[in-house]
Amino acid sequence: MGFNILSILVFLPILGLIITIALPKSAAGKAKIVALVFTILTVIIASYIWFAFDKTNGSMQFVEKYNWIQGVNIYYHLGIDGISLPIVFLTCVLSVLGVLVSWNIDNKPKAFFALLLLLQTGMLGVFVSLDFILFYIFWELVLLPMYFLIGIWGSSRRLYASIKFFIYTLFGSVLMLVGILIIFFKSGINSFDMLELTKNSIAPNTQNWIFLLMFMGFAIKVPMFPLHTWLPDAHTEAPTAGSVLLAGILLKMGAYGFIRISIPILPYASKSWAPAISILAVIGIIYGALACLVQKDVKRLIAFSSVSHMGFVMLGIASLNPTAITGSVLQMFNHGCITGMLFLIIGMIYDRTHTRQISELGGLANKMPFFAGMLAFASFASLGLPGLSGFWGEFLILFGTFKNHTTFYQVMVYIAVFGIVLGAAYLLWMLQRVIFGEYKGQVQEFRKVSAVDIITLIPLIIIIIFIGVYPSGMVNIIAGSVSKLIGM
């Protein structure tokens, strides 16, 4: 390693941010170009990491470790493995798409793109940092730009939603910080290093308490039932790019935290809490799906579908089975792509019709066949149609959970399968009302499909089909690291 590629990846958007801010007021329109260039650069670097990544080796790669604050053993410690690699890659891709979908934004463009770039740095940092303090800093760094993105560029109830989002998640992460500090002091090695801490000596009883604290932080982010209510509001009010990144990446931070921190560092507590978590996850699956059935706002519907889908992810994680956790990571990636795509399309449709009410939409198959087709495609991917990526994540999760020899987990799978049926129900019903039937909205003349729209959607289509047809490449990368992490 001649150079610190991960640091470059993480801080490249910051450079873009500086340039964006430095732009003169007259050139504010150029901000989007700067943002696009820098996000594309991160995709290129992420692709390089993907190809240079040793896929047979499940341990941390591209590791960077420097002293940061010596007195309390805080290090600047970055690294990437098969669990974080897909999500890092997805972060870069979705950031580009987030910039593209915001191409026509004209309210304070400089600030918007600067915040988007800051958000990207935060997200990337969370997934590559291996030191608790660094992790926590990035974790909090994500909140700020998202708060402003929702609060400034959101729809009508944006202030309520942004404050709710900020305070709710901050509440969780502060508890998480307490957990981190307790780990530091009780571990016996006084370290913040996630890798070293797997060899800690925390008493089982203490572990349970720490797990609960960490759980609050992560579960709010995921979000798990019943801590999910910030999500529909935030999703509904956020601008399209915000929704995409919120659904695509931010939700994954919580699940990632469970996989990276809770399970390896607190193995005993994980085992004792796992049944409770899987019950909550399954409730989330059914609950979210049922709530979807009666939503009137398309974005809100997709937000609740995220609750349902993240329930699958949590079910896989809680089963503590390598296959299921592999499935969870894959599902995180897929959900990021698919839900990201759904939000992109809804955003594009909203740009044209100026309504998201299901009752006002309709007949889009004739009015805008391209978007109708894309919406149908993404919906089918979301409901887990084989041949598209959504299927494999759900399949591996359910199969892996099923393999846990207890009746309890098998019952969980039976209920979760019912969730898949409900998933098909609400998505198809939504499709039927939105793209079939008769259009009832106000706006009659629609802007034509632009090249930017198509370019925005194509990468996700390719990823969704590719993983749907050939999942093994991705699965092998993830599975190697997962088995290393679980130690099986």
Partner 1 sequence: MEKFIWIIPVLPIFGFIITFFFGKKFPKAASVFTTVILGACVLLSMMSIFIVNSGGPFEITKNWYVTGKYSIAMGFAADGLTAMMLNVVSIVSFLVHLYSIGYMHNDSRFWMFFLYLQLFSASMFGLVLSNNYLQLYIFWELVGLCSYLLIGFWYEKKSAADAAKKAFLTTKIGDAGMLIGIFLLFFNTGSAVFKDVFNFAAGPEVSQGLITASAILLFCGAIGKSAQFPLHIWLPDAMEGPTPVSALIHAATMVAAGVYLVGRSFPLFSLSATAMQVVAVVGAFTAIFAATIAITQNDIKKVLAYSTISQLGYMMFALGMGAYVAGMFHLLTHAFFKALLFLGSGSVIHATGTQDIREMGGLFKKMKVTAITFIIGTLALAGFPLTAGFFSKDYILGFAYAQNKYIFFIIGIITAFFTAFYMFRVIFVVFFGNPKKDGIHAHESPKVMTIPLIILAVLSVVPGYFGAWFISERFSIDKFISFFGFEGQEPLHIIPMVIAVLVGLLGILIAFILYFGKPITNKKISKWIYPLYKLLHNKYYIDEIYGFIIIKPLMKLAEFINTFDRVVVDGFVNFIGKLTVIFSRAVDIFDIKAVDGVVNKVADVTYLSGKKLRLLQTGNTSSYLAIMFGAVAIFVIYLLIKVIFIR
User: Which residues of this chain interact with partner 1, rule CB under 8 A?
Assistant: 164, 167-168, 225-226, 228-230, 287, 290-295, 322-323, 326, 363, 365-366, 380, 385-387, 391, 396, 398-400, 402-403, 413-414, 417-418, 420-421, 424-425, 428-429, 431-432, 435-437, 471-472, 475-476, 479
Closer CB to partner 1, 288 or 347, in the complex: 288
Strand partners, 78: 64, 129
Cβ nearer to partner 1, comparing 143 with 435: 435
- What Cα–Cα distance (Å) separates residue 38 from each residue in 113, 174, 236? 11, 32, 28
Q: What is the smallest separation between the CB atom of 230 and partner 1, expressed in angstroms?
A: 7
Instruction: Give the nearer residue to partner 1 in terms of CB position, either 29 or 473.
Output: 473
Q: Which is nearer to partner 1, 48 or 414 (CB)?
A: 414
Work out how close the CB of 272 gets to partner 1 at its nearest, in angstroms, rounded to a whole number: 24
Q: Which helix (H) or strand (E) holds 69?
A: strand 61-69
Element (H, E) at 79: strand 74-80
Q: How far is the CB of 232 from partner 1 (least distance, A)?
A: 8
In angstroms, what is the minimal distance from the CB of 246 to partner 1?
18
For residues 133 and 238, which CB has a smaller minimum distance to partner 1 in the complex? Answer: 238
> Within 368-450, where are the H helices?
369-382, 389-403, 407-435
**CA 241 to CA 250: how far, in whole Å?**
12
3-state secondary structure of 319: coil
Taking the CA atoms of residue 462, residue 467, residue 472 and residue 474 in that order, the dihedral angle to the nearest 10 degrees is: 80
Nearer of residues 97 and 482 to partner 1, judged by Cβ: 482
Closest approach, Cβ 424 to partner 1, in A, equals: 5
The nearest distance, CB 224 to partner 1, in angstroms, is: 12
CB of 361 to partner 1, least distance (A): 14
**Which residue's CB is nearer to partner 1, number 21 or number 486?**
486
How many residues does the structure list for the chain? 488
66 vs 470, which CB is nearer to partner 1? Answer: 470
Considering the complex, state which of residue 155 and residue 476 has its C-beta at the smaller distance from partner 1: 476
For 111-127, give the DSSP string: HHHHHHHHHHHHHHHHH
Measured at the alpha carbon of residue 290, what is the angle toward residues 286 and 296, in degrees to the nearest 5?
A: 150
Q: Which CB, 35 or 281, lies closer to partner 1?
A: 281
Decide: 141 and 125 in contact? Cβ < 8 Å: yes
Nearer CB in complex with partner 1: 77/164 = 164
Instruction: Report d(CA 320, CA 317) in Å as an integer.
Output: 6
CA 53 to chain centre: 22
Instruction: For residue 12, give every residue at least 6 positions away whose Cβ sits within 8 Å of its Cβ, in sequence order, or none.
Output: 38, 41, 42, 45
Instruction: Give the shortest CB-249-to-partner 1 separation in angstroms.
Output: 23
Residue 27 CB, shortest distance to partner 1, in Å, is 41
Strand partners, 131: 193
What burial letters (b/e) apply to 360-374, b meaning 16+ CB within 10 Å? bbbbbbebbeebbeb
Q: Least Å distance between CB 384 and partner 1?
A: 8
Phi first, then psi: what are they for 96, rounded to 5°? -60, -45
Residue 118 CA to its chain's centroid (Å): 16
Least distance CB 248 / partner 1 (angstroms): 23
Tokens 């997200």 -> residue: 123
Which residue type sits at 10?
A: V
d(CA 29, CA 109): 7
SS3 for 95-114, per residue? HHHHHHHCCCCCCCHHHHHH
